[in-house]
Structure 1
């Protein structure tokens, strides 16, 4: 067990595993990195990567209409950036596009649906072909909604993080830059679990830290840090300025315990390895 990950063993959770990742791969681990965990919303970045592969394959385009009847004027880009105006959990319009950052499971499901219809391939199968197999993810699957029903391991998510730090070619360099760039800057919104944020920065399927406070990453993470956390007690961030990523998966629902230990671990990892 390597410091600073030793602290993970003291987290108040039934099971936990974590890894620190650098540009050359995994630097340190703790726990069973091959144990599958429900990802909850950490599913969203995996789904977004599959959608962006579909964009680069020209099956869909970021300018494609999201759903003209439901969300007039909104595009696939809006959906991935939680800026389409669709409600969080219902297929209903809550605002015009690019007016507020409305974090929406439905939006990610709509984005996956566009790929599914364009390719005539069920989205879980497309995710497997576009992301799981190319990155050699051994225990990753989608068993329902592309917004929250993924299962994976620390070992697999570490491979995803390594790909985003130092690409092997899953996405082009311009697309990798785009996914971690703020889309529709200046939008206000609520970051689940952390309250109103102004602005509430988001890329394409990935949350961007910016100057948010409070936040689930460390005080010393750079504003360019991007990633996601999930209600099942899961999180991963990639900090391009530090050339580091952190993956931590648990099986305890996100609550005050995570608000306390995640930022502390993040800062300890940055102090030790950046």
Structure 2
């Protein structure tokens, strides 16, 4: 990566043309934040960008040996499924209801319920509300003072771009929140080859997912840029939020808005992603 702060700032300038009232973005490299734009300390609902934060907390619980990735997910409802399946959206649980739709690792079913089940396993093991565990395990260590969870661990966090930039920085150049092996695992495709629907983008023959993070792979269409590497991982939310990290470029991007995901984002997010990656070259 050789881009200058000015080149990244120029790439982010296109956010001024987005059809939103509030927008904030940050570009992050191995040395930290490289450029920002907009109200980076303004708090917004994250919607599904909550999921990777929840996953990080679950993985801290794994490293603390409170739970294991092989723990049963919900034996009566999802026989054979594990915590790993839940984090990878491969448990077979339905998207919004505690119903079994497939067997484990048969289909990638993007599920809010699955992430809620994963958080519940941590609650049972630690005796703590998941919001408190998330704060102690992830938010406080990373100095994310503008972030909190108020409701579902799948969709009800509130945060700001400055805080999520800290998450990207931690994943690029760790301060020790997670072991290197765990960081590699979360960004590695779990149960390769599963078909599934990527919300907003339709069916994908390879709907690849890591542990709480979506992996770009060969998905098309996609919300990242045409020049993002297949190893890019991240998440987007229906509240108009997104973040990704591209290991091949050693670069991360977060962009938060106050407008719900729609056609505007389908057009704007890939364009921004490609401009940021171009600025790095």
SS in 1 for 2:278: helix
CA distance in 2, matches of 1:29, 1:185: 35
Matches within 5 A, 1:261-272: 261-272=268-279
In the alignment, is residue 259 of structure 1 matched against residue 266 of structure 2? yes
1:52 aligns with 2:55: no
Asked whether 1:134 is paired with 2:134, we answer: no
Distance 1:266 1:249 in 2: 13
Choose from 184, 187, 190 the match for 2:194.
Answer: 187
Q: Which structure 1 segments of 5+ residues have no match?
A: none
From 104, 129, 134, give the equivalent of 1:97: 104
Question: What pairs with 1:1-274 in structure 2 (closer than 5 Å)?
Answer: 2-274=9-281
Cα distance in 1, alignment partners of residues 19 and 172 from structure 2: 30
Question: 1:130-164 CA deviation, whole Å, 9 max, x = no partner?
Answer: 00010011100000000000000000000001101
Instruction: Give the unaligned 5+ runs of structure 2.
Output: 1-5
Give aligned pairs, total: 274
Alpha-carbon distance, 1:183 to partner: 0.1
1:70-105 CA distance string (max 9 Å, x none)? 100000000000000000000010000000000000
Deviation, 1:9, is 1.1
User: Which runs of at least 4 in structure 1 moved beyond 2 Å after TM superposition?
Assistant: none
CA distance in 1, matches of 2:105, 2:178: 26
TM-score, with length taken from structure 1: 0.99
